[in-house]
Structure 1
Amino acid sequence: MVPNKRVKIAAALGVAAAVLGWWVVSREAPEEGAPVQAAAAVPQSGHMPFFAAAAVQSAPGAAGTERAVRIAQLKEQLALTDHTYCSYKNNTRYPHSSRPIAEQPDQVYPNKQVTDTHPMRLDGGGVDRAIQIQTSQSRVFMASGETVEFSLRAVDSNGAPQPLVVTRALAKGIVFNGRSTPTVVVPFADDGTGADAVAGDGAFSGALAPAQSALATFNGTVRTIVSYSVNGRAGSVIFDIIYSPELPAVWAGPPREVNENGSLVYVLKANVRMAGRYIVTGRVDDAHGQPFALATFNDLLTTGPQEIRLLVFGKLLHDQKPAMPLTLRDVDGYLLKENVDPDRALMPRLQGKVLTGSSRSPSAYSDAEWQGEERTRYITEFGKDLQLARSELAKLDAGAVENFQTECR
């Protein structure tokens, strides 16, 4: 190597060593045992000489920084495992069959009309956005013997009714195997009779009762296409219902209320014609008519007389303290069918009030949480994860564990 290059390199290394020495000495040493923040490894200027970076990696403060980072990671892990454990534990205090109805708002009023508003769809394609078509249908799923009602009216952009005339309405079963199904004419009118509530209000209404028509034995989706005209322009609207001509089970006898194991149970009798898994759902209101709970039966039933039991869990009553007495209403059920379309055969619905029970105080029911094999297993495993997270953090920072606020309630 050329001598003058050696001199230059030696000089550069000497300067680097001197600067590094000055930088290390000039830093205030942390108190013994105090964690060192990552920012403390950087000079006040905010820049660290590149030739000093390697030396800092092995400096005493680096160990403190690593410890602080590890503690932060363990705190985050503890918070996550606690959230998982507590969320599961809190959300499974009540069984699946007895839940606050607020969790499933779409189930509160199952018999409420289905309404829609959309721009007028023109025959041949396109839409007329100046005309809005308002539609309604009384139900989507239909059991044998039930009737569905349809209505439609036209309004302009300001909501003013527009003259509408129904020119044709036909109902037909939808099939995918090429076979044909009967077509049924559905009369629509605006004369205040039949399905029409008010004469001359611009809303045309019609009703379809599949069991009383050529569709009596059809099982599946029935589509009603209504053709109409507004101000001389032709349009159409579609209504779909899912019809079940089978009656897998029928209700038999009055319901009753019983108290079992600290919970409230509604017992409904049924004659089962087709064995299988039945899903039955009832809504429970408090004494002021406020929706309170959703009670669901989900079990296998054999043919013959059976009891369907809808549970209002004791702790749910105890926790939420609804105004008593409670009222069971709007019960619907079906036989679940696998690997076929449609996937259910509907029981006749019990619409409106089914039973109003006793005025027993909610505090009289059990405050015990629901227990089940699955819940016990999950809580045990989540609990192990939580305990491990606590112990790992305690090894580095016992105070952080003592001060940790759990989400469990």
Structure 2
Amino acid sequence: MTPDDGPVSSASRLRHGRWLLALVPLVLAGGAFFWWQGSEGAEAPEGAPEPASAPVANPREVARAPAERGGTALAAESAAPSLLSPEAREREARRELWQKRLERAKRSLESYVAATRYPPESRPSREHPDQMELAEPERTRPLSPKASEDGTSDVQLRLKQDKVFVVGDEAVLFSVACEDSRRTPQPCEVVSALAHEAEHMAGAGGVPGVPVTFADMGQGGDAVAGDGMLTGRFQPSKQGFAMFSGTLRVDVRVRSGSVEDSAFFDVLYTPAPPATFTRRVREAVEAGSLDLYLSVQVRKAGRYVVSGRLDDEGGVPFASVSFNEELQEGLQEVKLNVFGKLIRDEAPTFPLTLRDVEGFLLKEMGDPDRELMVTMRGPVHTTREYTLQQFSPAEWRSPERDRYTNELEKDVMEAQKQLDAALSDTPAP
């Protein structure tokens, strides 16, 4: 290096230092700017784009994760029994067995208690709606089953009778009509009708059959002339069966166009009633229930079954009542009990109407198994007005019900005991 190099180098270093000093404020200013931009309290300049938000997880991915975890847990749980020892599996099976037996025992107890809260002779109408009316059978069948099967005829035979039980001088009306599958009336003719003893009766055939006339003339029980409904009237006491007791059958042969076939009606006949309703009724509130006493003149002593129907003030069926006890000869009373809790639960509107009362003497052996009383058709008695508070809300009690309830409760207790033992894994004694 020459002597001249020294001053030149010193000047150069001086200029370089001055340039670095000039950069320091710029560096400090830039750092301050970036620090201000990144601080939480800084506001974004107007018009500046908002910073991008953090990425949001896909909902399907979020849902899939717990599902996969649940599936894994379920698989582990379902696989758990296979991991149990034979003794543990046996204990688990015993627990399941007694759990099911306990549930079944509880259901049996609850069902029995609910079904017997009212006595058998006083039941709500909803239990047997078909028994709230007197029997007036009506049925439809093909006039010729063979023709119906092969498709050559769709004529249907409609058969109806206004009663099944006939007593003394009572008469029964039979109706016959023909119609197609759309219930359009078709030509109909009763070619023949013959009343006779039913074949299953012992000694049948002792009384010769008698003809029964069917017509559509608006007479002899026929409601409307020319309506296509042919009616026949049968009065056993006046048509040769005054001394007969049992089932009588009326065979009819019907023709519609070129199709002809047979059908039949059955009635149960009693020539002389064993007892007679006098139609006198008295009522009383006793032991929290409403009792209706029907006066009966008994000619033959024995066990009598009497039943009646009750409607509320609006004519809505409310209950069926019955009697099943022995009666001695002479003037007796039949008690029809309207149970207090039944009245409280159903809350009928008073007064109540007793209607359609029928009865019979039950025979210990033989066919038929009964002798019929003359049915009291239509309204028989209208009660006084009562408030619901006049009747007891207590359930029916009897030695038989208590005995069955106790046995069912024992079943529940035993099942509970065995289940508790299985749950605690200790054998029951």
Give deviations 1:7-63, integer Å, cap 9, x for gaps. xxxxxxxxxxxxxxxxxxxxxxxxxxxxx96722547xxxxxxxxxxxx74xxxx55
Once the two structures are TM-superposed, the CA of residue 253 in structure 1 deviates from its matched residue by 4.6
Structure 1 residues 390 and 41: CA distance shift in structure 2, 3 A: closer
Asked if 1:284 is matched to 2:310, the reply is yes
Partner Cα distance (2:358, 2:232) in 1: 24
Partner Cα distance (1:74, 1:340) in 2: 49
Partner in structure 2 of residue 80 of structure 1: 104
Give 1 or 2 for the bigger CA radius of gyration.
2
Once the two structures are TM-superposed, the CA of residue 289 in structure 1 deviates from its matched residue by 1.3
Asked if 1:230 is matched to 2:230, the reply is no
Partner in structure 1 of residue 80 of structure 2: 40
Bigger mean CA deviation after superposition, 133-142 or 230-239: 230-239
Partner Cα distance (2:184, 2:104) in 1: 55
Partner in structure 2 of residue 140 of structure 1: 164
TM-score (normalised: structure 1): 0.79
Partner Cα distance (1:353, 1:298) in 2: 22
The one-letter amino acid of 1:118's match is R
Q: Please say if residues 37 and 64 of structure 1, whose CA atoms lie closer than 8 Å, have aligned partners that are also in contact.
A: no
SS where residue 255 of structure 1 aligns?
A: strand
Partner Cα distance (1:323, 1:397) in 2: 52
Once the two structures are TM-superposed, the CA of residue 312 in structure 1 deviates from its matched residue by 0.8
Q: Please say if residues 148 and 154 of structure 2, whose CA atoms lie closer than 8 Å, have aligned partners that are also in contact.
A: no
SS where residue 70 of structure 1 aligns?
A: helix
Once the two structures are TM-superposed, the CA of residue 307 in structure 1 deviates from its matched residue by 0.2
The one-letter amino acid of 1:189's match is A
Partner in structure 2 of residue 12 of structure 1: none
Structure 1 residues 253 and 241: CA distance shift in structure 2, 3 A: closer
Once the two structures are TM-superposed, the CA of residue 373 in structure 1 deviates from its matched residue by 1.0
Q: Please say if residues 122 and 233 of structure 1, whose CA atoms lie closer than 8 Å, have aligned partners that are also in contact.
A: no
Asked if 1:295 is matched to 2:321, the reply is yes
Structure 1 residues 66 and 125: CA distance shift in structure 2, 3 A: closer
Asked if 1:216 is matched to 2:242, the reply is yes
Asked if 1:164 is matched to 2:188, the reply is yes
Q: How does 1:45-60 map to 2 (within 5 A)?
A: 57=85
The one-letter amino acid of 1:182's match is P
Partner Cα distance (2:163, 2:250) in 1: 13
Partner in structure 2 of residue 115 of structure 1: 138
Q: How does 1:356-371 map to 2 (within 5 A)?
A: 356-371=382-397
The one-letter amino acid of 2:110's match is C
Asked if 1:394 is matched to 2:417, the reply is no
Once the two structures are TM-superposed, the CA of residue 337 in structure 1 deviates from its matched residue by 0.7
Ranges in structure 1 where 5+ consecutive residues have no aligned partner? 1-35, 44-55, 399-409
Once the two structures are TM-superposed, the CA of residue 397 in structure 1 deviates from its matched residue by 4.2
Partner Cα distance (1:192, 1:234) in 2: 24
Aligned residues: 346
Once the two structures are TM-superposed, the CA of residue 359 in structure 1 deviates from its matched residue by 1.7
Asked if 1:245 is matched to 2:271, the reply is yes
Partner in structure 2 of residue 15 of structure 1: none
Asked if 1:260 is matched to 2:286, the reply is yes
Structure 1 residues 353 and 143: CA distance shift in structure 2, 3 A: same
SS where residue 381 of structure 1 aligns?
A: helix
Asked if 1:206 is matched to 2:222, the reply is no
Partner in structure 2 of residue 402 of structure 1: none
The one-letter amino acid of 1:368's match is A
Partner in structure 2 of residue 154 of structure 1: 178
Q: Please say if residues 38 and 65 of structure 1, whose CA atoms lie closer than 8 Å, have aligned partners that are also in contact.
A: no
Structure 1 residues 363 and 229: CA distance shift in structure 2, 3 A: same
Q: Please say if residues 321 and 363 of structure 1, whose CA atoms lie closer than 8 Å, have aligned partners that are also in contact.
A: no
Bigger mean CA deviation after superposition, 79-88 or 223-232: 223-232
SS where residue 254 of structure 1 aligns?
A: strand
Give deviations 1:313-332, integer Å, cap 9, x for gaps. 11111112122221111100
Partner in structure 2 of residue 196 of structure 1: 222
Bigger mean CA deviation after superposition, 342-351 or 100-109: 100-109
Partner Cα distance (1:41, 1:249) in 2: 72
Partner Cα distance (1:267, 1:314) in 2: 16
Q: Please say if residues 197 and 205 of structure 2, whose CA atoms lie closer than 8 Å, have aligned partners that are also in contact.
A: no
CA root-mean-square deviation: 2.4
Partner Cα distance (1:97, 1:76) in 2: 35
Partner Cα distance (1:123, 1:395) in 2: 66
Q: Please say if residues 295 and 310 of structure 1, whose CA atoms lie closer than 8 Å, have aligned partners that are also in contact.
A: yes
Give deviations 1:160-218, integer Å, cap 9, x for gaps. 22222223222111244364213222121111112111111111101111122211111
Give deviations 1:332-362, integer Å, cap 9, x for gaps. 0000012211111001101011111122122
Partner in structure 2 of residue 173 of structure 1: 197
SS where residue 161 of structure 1 aligns?
A: coil
Partner Cα distance (2:273, 2:325) in 1: 18
Structure 1 residues 160 and 178: CA distance shift in structure 2, 3 A: closer
SS where residue 410 of structure 2 aligns?
A: helix
Ranges in structure 2 where 5+ consecutive residues have no aligned partner? 1-75, 425-429
The one-letter amino acid of 1:121's match is S
Once the two structures are TM-superposed, the CA of residue 104 in structure 1 deviates from its matched residue by 1.7
Q: Please say if residues 172 and 223 of structure 1, whose CA atoms lie closer than 8 Å, have aligned partners that are also in contact.
A: yes
The one-letter amino acid of 1:103's match is E
Q: Please say if residues 223 and 240 of structure 1, whose CA atoms lie closer than 8 Å, have aligned partners that are also in contact.
A: yes
Q: Please say if residues 150 and 207 of structure 1, whose CA atoms lie closer than 8 Å, have aligned partners that are also in contact.
A: yes
Partner Cα distance (1:172, 1:72) in 2: 63
TM-score (normalised: structure 2): 0.75
Partner in structure 2 of residue 130 of structure 1: 154
Once the two structures are TM-superposed, the CA of residue 271 in structure 1 deviates from its matched residue by 0.6
Residue 330 (structure 1) aligned to one of 343, 356, 362: 356
Partner in structure 1 of residue 122 of structure 2: 98
SS where residue 40 of structure 1 aligns?
A: helix
